[in-house]
C-alpha cells in the first residue's frame, strides 16, 4: 500500500490569524520514518510563541503541537524500536544530525549540526516539519518512544515536552531523598516539577509571587509554600534549599531573593524562556553563596526513555484537561486566558 502524502491539521497562516483546519503535505518517507495516527496532543506555551512569531519569525503556514501521542501505522525499513500498532509518542525534537560530538555523547537535544524541531523546522531533505494539532504525523524513529503499558495516551502526551523539560534537570542534578527543592512557578512546568521532586523523595517547597496557588501546590504534594513577594514567607527557607527549579518568574526577579535560600553549593536550574533577560548577577553573591546557575533544554532520547520508565514505576500523573481536536481554537483561547490547571490536551 502506498504511503499517505497529506494530513489534516490546524494551520496558523500568519501572525494573529485564526487557526484553519486544512490539508497539508506530509514529509517524504525514508528508512527511519514512522507514521502515527494522532490520538492526543498537549498544548504548550511554545505553540503560542510560534504561532505569534514572538521567538522569531515563524515558517508560515505552520501546524504546532509537540506533545504528541498516537498509534504507529507505518514504519521504515531501518526502524527497530517501534512497530505498527504500538502506542507511541514524540516531543519537541524530531531529529538531529547524529554525527556531531554532542549527538555522539548522548546530548542529541543540544545537537550542533542539523536539529529538527517537531514543528516550524526543516528536515534534512528540505521538507517542513509539522506538529500534532492534526490527525497524522510522520517523523524520525530515533525521537519516537513506546508508551508504557500502564500509561494512557492522554496522560502520556504532556510528558514528551513539559515532563522531560522538568524531569531531566532534576535527575541530572541528583535530586533525591536528601534534597530540599524549591519549584519557582506553579504552572504547566512547575506542577510537573513538584510531582517529579516528590517522586524522587525530596522535600519540596512551591514558590510563587502571591498566595492564590497555595492550595493547588499543596494538593500536588508540596510540603510547603512561600509567596516570593512576602519576606516573612521566605525567612524560614533561608539557607535551606539544595535546588531551585525555575519554571517561570516575573520581571521583578532578583538573584538576591533566591540565592540566599540555598545551602552551600545549591543549584539554580532555569527551564523557563521569558521574553526578557535575567538581571546581572553579582560576582560577590555567587562567591558567598557558592551557588551554581544553569539551564536545561528539554531532554535527550535516553532521558526521555528514563523519564517514561520512572513515571510508570512511580505512578506520576500530570493534571490535564481535555478538549476535542475540533475545538483546538477554543482550547488555545482558554490557554491564553490562563485557564489550564495544569495542561490542556487535544483529543482526536
Q: Could you report the per-residue pLDDT of 72-83, keeping only the tens digit for each?
A: 999 999 999 999
Helical (H) or strand (E) element with 190: helix 188-199
Domain 6-161+299-347 identical in fold to domain 164-295: no
pLDDT (0 to 100) of residue 46 = 95
DSSP 140-189: EGGGEEEPPTTS-HHHHGGGGTHHHHHHHHHHHTT--TT-EEEEE--SHH
C-alpha cell at 75: 514504519
Please report how the helices 162-172 and 301-314 are oriented relative to each other, as an axis angle in degrees rounded to 10: 90
Please give the chain's pLDDT, 348 residues, in tens.
Answer: 678 999 999 999 999 999 999 999 999 999 999 999 999 999 999 999 999 999 889 999 999 999 999 999 999 999 999 999 999 999 999 999 999 999 999 999 999 999 999 999 999 999 999 999 999 999 999 999 999 999 999 999 999 999 999 999 999 999 999 999 999 999 999 999 999 999 999 999 999 999 999 999 999 999 999 999 999 999 999 999 999 999 999 999 999 999 999 999 999 999 999 889 999 999 999 999 999 999 999 999 999 999 999 999 999 999 999 999 999 999 999 999 999 999 999 999
pLDDT (0 to 100) of residue 332 = 97
Helical (H) or strand (E) element with 305: helix 301-314
Q: What is the DSSP letter of 70?
A: E
Q: Does the domain spanning 6-161+299-347 belong to CATH 3.90.180.10?
A: yes
- Domain boundaries along the sequence of the chain: 6-161+299-347, 164-295
pTM of the full predicted structure? Answer: 0.96
Q: Which fold has domain 164-295?
A: Rossmann fold (3.40.50)
pLDDT (0 to 100) of residue 1 = 65
Within 10 Å of residue 164's Cβ, how many Cβ atoms? 29
Average pLDDT of the residues of the chain = 96
pLDDT (0 to 100) of residue 205 = 98
Separation CA 277–CA 151 (nearest Å):
38
Amino acid at each position: 500500500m502506498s504511503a499517505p502524502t497529506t494530513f489534516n491539521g490546524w494551520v496558523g497562516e500568519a501572525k494573529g490569524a485564526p487557526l484553519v483546519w486544512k490539508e497539508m503535505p506530509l514529509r517524504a518517507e525514508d528508512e527511519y520514518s514512522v507514521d502515527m495516527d494522532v490520538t492526543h496532543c498537549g498544548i504548550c506555551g511554545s505553540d503560542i510563541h510560534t504561532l505569534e512569531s514572538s521567538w522569531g519569525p515563524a515558517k508560515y503556514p505552520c501546524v504546532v503541537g509537540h506533545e504528541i501521542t498516537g498509534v504507529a501505522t507505518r514504519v521504515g525499513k531501518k526502524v527497530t524500536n517501534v512497530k505498527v500498532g504500538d502506542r507511541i509518542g514524540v516531543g519537541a525534537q524530531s531529529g538531529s544530525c547524529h554525527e556531531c560530538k554532542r549527538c555522539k555523547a548522548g546530548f542529541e537535544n543540544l545537537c550542533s549540526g542539523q536539529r529538527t524541531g517537531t514543528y516550524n523546522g526543516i528536515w534534512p531533505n528540505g521538507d517542513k516539519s509539522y506538529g500534532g494539532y492534526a490527525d497524522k504525523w510522520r517523523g524520525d524513529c530515533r525521537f519516537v518512544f513506546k508508551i508504557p503499558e500502564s500509561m494512557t495516551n492522554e496522560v502520556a502526551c504532556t510528558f514528551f515536552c513539559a515532563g522531560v523539560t522538568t524531569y531531566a534537570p532534576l535527575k541530572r542534578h541528583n535530586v533525591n531523598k536528601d534534597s530540599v527543592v524549591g519549584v519557582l512557578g506553579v504552572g504547566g512546568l512547575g506542577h510537573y516539577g513538584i510531582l517529579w521532586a516528590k517522586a524522587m523523595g525530596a522535600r519540596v517547597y512551591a514558590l510563587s509571587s502571591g498566595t492564590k496557588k497555595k492550595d493547588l501546590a499543596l494538593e500536588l504534594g508540596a510540603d510547603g509554600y512561600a509567596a516570593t513577594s512576602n519576606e516573612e514567607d521566605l525567612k524560614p527557607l533561608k539557607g535551606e534549599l539544595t535546588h531551585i527549579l525555575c519554571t517561570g518568574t516575573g520581571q521583578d526577579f532578583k538573584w538576591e531573593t533566591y540565592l540566599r535560600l540555598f545551602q552551600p553549593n545549591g543549584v539554580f536550574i532555569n527551564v523557563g524562556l521569558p521574553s526578557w533577560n535575567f538581571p546581572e548577577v553579582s560576582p560577590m553573591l555567587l562567591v558567598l553563596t557558592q551557588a551554581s546557575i544553569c539551564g536545561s533544554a528539554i531532554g535527550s532520547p535516553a532521558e526521555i526513555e528514563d523519564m517514561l520508565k520512572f513515571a510508570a514505576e512511580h505512578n506520576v500523573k500530570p493534571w490535564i484537561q481535555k478538549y476535542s481536536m475540533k475545538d483546538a481554537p477554543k482550547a488555545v483561547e482558554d490557554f491564553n486566558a490562563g485557564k489550564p490547571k495544569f495542561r490542556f490536551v487535544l483529543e482526536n
